[in-house]
Structure 1
Amino acid sequence: MSLQTTCYNILTASSDAREHKAMSKVFDWVLILLVLINVAAMMLETVPQVANVWSYELHLIEIVSVILFTIEYALRVYSSAAAPVHGNTELVHKSVWKRRWQYMKSPMAIIDLMAILPFYLSVFIAFDLRILRVFRVLRILKIGRYSRSMQTLVTVIRNESHSLLAAISVLLLFTVIAATCIYYIEHHAQPEVFSSIPASLWWALVTLTTVGYGDAVPVTALGKIFGGFITIMGICFYALPAGILSSSYTSQMQLKRDRFKDTVRTALDDGMLSAHDMHHIERVRELLDLDEEEAHLIMRLLQHHHKVAENTGSDEPHSNHHAP
């Protein structure tokens, strides 16, 4: 096995190479720990008492983190050429560097690059790039690579993007309508608070979301009635995106359970589960991010149904044989 393929199997936890499974898990946990330490250090840098005392140590953590993240990014780009194509004929005919460029344009690769780019820009470019340091917080998004729950959420958002866009469009439209109405209702009573429709958008937003900071409130009777109506409507309208996401997330989890059941049923076709079958089932469970206890319960239920079906099938010929 080539170095390129070995790096790919370790970095991506590829199921094609079981001998690298343990090493891949260790690598994942080290990277997760490094990300958490780095984000914690970034946050502590903003505390003056801590920054003054531990400035050298915090800067050292930053340098070490960037070096390790740079090595990780370089290895991921290098090994991306070894990724399986799964029947993608276009990718098969692409050169090694074209495959790597295809990977570099992926969302996770861009996040990896943005996590280290501000450091190098601040070193090699001689002007104030402090605003780019905000991108350091993107390092926490690297954990999404190792969290299948977050990957499921991203899949849900991608699948429901059209529905979410429609719901957000309705919310924005209703927010503008609410801001316009409250402006004409309250402007004469509070010209400094509701000075314009854009200024009234803040009141509409915090009222529709039922946050209600209290910095802008209606004082007229009609304004209070309208404000109460907007608050009630906000509960209804802002529940739309949450309902869409929760429904789709539940569907995704049910789809994972169904795929796990199909895997177990296929393994039970010969009437028993071998060590190879158990290893394959466990691997599928990990990939689907199913709870271990729930997966074992599904396996026991399917094994029970399989035994009942076998016994029922074997009893039928026996009873027919003794039939008069």
Structure 2
Amino acid sequence: MKEKIKSIVEINDNKPSRYFAFFIQALILVSIITFSVETIPNLKPQTKTILYIIEIFSVSVFTLEYLLRIYVADSKPKFVFSFFGIIDFLAILPFYLSFGIDLRSLRALRFLRLFRILKLVRYNRAMNHFTRAIKSAKEEILLFVFITLILIYFAAVGIYYFENEAQPEHFTSIFDSLWWAIITLTTVGYGDVYPITVGGKVFTFLILMIGLGIVAIPTGIISSALTKSIDKKETE
């Protein structure tokens, strides 16, 4: 019985498994749609009741799926603390916590239901390639993140010393300057905080040039790893 359930629950090349995967994917999409509909103001009581019934049904199925995956897992702790295990758990957690939490916190709690959309990753081959690419390039990505954090801090310190006296209301401290550093290095530039001194403008130009390179680096790392992942899959 356990092996039969495993062949259905896990992704396999048989009809029951494909039907199960399609059903779960469809239910995830329905759940996401109902989550969006709930935000519409002045919904009729009948509509709210229908949405709640759909939510109960969805959570029941997702809970059963989660328990079955634990049941058929070769290593139960490994599955529970795996990426997909955590996603499956977070997908159902808000519903059960909503029974014992203050209503004022319920709005923030519902946000966790968005984790259901990540359940689709399990059934998407392209996303599986992407996941493998991220894993293979994790050391390069971690190095990039570390260097980026250093550059953000360096940019915050630099702009603070250039602009603090001219704009003390915007660049009160290095911590306040971090916001400018982030939006400048990422080349977003919202325009809410900008330099007015000559030194600050020159420094901003240099940071923008560095920011252009920062945006390109992770794209190159991930695209290279993704290409290797696809080539490796095709040769298997």
Counterparts of 2:39 and 2:15 in 1: how far apart (Å)?
A: 37
- C-alpha contact 2:186 2:214 (8 A) present in aligned 1: no
| Contact residue 70 and residue 76 of structure 2 kept, 8 A | yes
Change (3 A) 1:51 1:141: farther
> Structure 1 residues 237, 9: CA separation in 2 closer, same or farther (over 3 Å shift)?
same
Give the AA of the match of 2:116.
R
**C-alpha distance in structure 2 between counterparts of 1:34 and 1:223, whole Å:** 53
Query: Which structure is richer in relative contact order (CA contacts within 8 A, separation 6 or more)?
Result: 2
- In the other structure, the counterpart of 2:129 is 152
Please list the CA deviations of residues 129-163 of structure 1 after superposition, one character each: whole Å capped at 9, or x if unmatched: 52333221111111111012112211111111111
The residue aligned with 1:164 is 141
Instruction: Please state whether the residue corresponding to 1:48 is helix, strand or coil.
Output: coil
2:48 aligned to 52, 55, 72, which one? 55
In structure 1, what is the equivalent of residue 182 of structure 2? Answer: 205
Among the aligned pairs, what percent are the same residue?
Answer: 38
Q: Which residue of 1 aligns with 2:86?
A: 110
1:142-187, Cα deviation, whole Å (9 max, x unpaired):
1111012112211111111111111111111111111111111111
8 Å CA contact 1:9–1:24 kept in 2: the answer is: yes
Read off the aligned partner of 2:170 and give its amino acid letter. V
TM-score, scaled relative to structure 1 = 0.68
User: Equivalents in 2 of 1:224, 1:13: separation in Å?
Assistant: 55
* Offset, 1:47: 2.4
Amino acid at match of 1:250: T
Q: 1:12 and 2:10 equivalent?
A: yes
Total equivalences in the alignment:
234
Quick check: 1:44–1:51 contact (8 Å CA) kept in 2? no
Separation in structure 1 between the aligned mates of residue 185 and residue 201 of structure 2, nearest angstrom: 14
Secondary structure of the corresponding residue to residue 38 of structure 1: helix
For normalisation by structure 2, the TM-score amounts to 0.92
| Runs of at least 5 residues in structure 2 that lack an aligned partner in the other structure | none
The letter of the residue matching 2:84 is: M
Counterpart for residue 119 of structure 1: 95
Larger Rg belongs to: 1
Q: Which of 171, 186, 191 lines up with 1:214 in the alignment?
A: 191
State the match for 1:240 in structure 2: 217
Partner Cα separation in structure 2 for residue 53 and residue 172 of structure 1: 50
Q: Name 2:235's counterpart in structure 1.
A: 258
Structure 1 residues 126 and 199, CA gap change in structure 2 (3 angstroms): closer
5+ residue gaps in structure 1? 16-20, 82-98, 260-324
Residue in structure 1 matched with residue 23 of structure 2 by the alignment: 30
Aligned counterpart, 1:226: 203
Cα RMSD after superposing both structures: 1.8
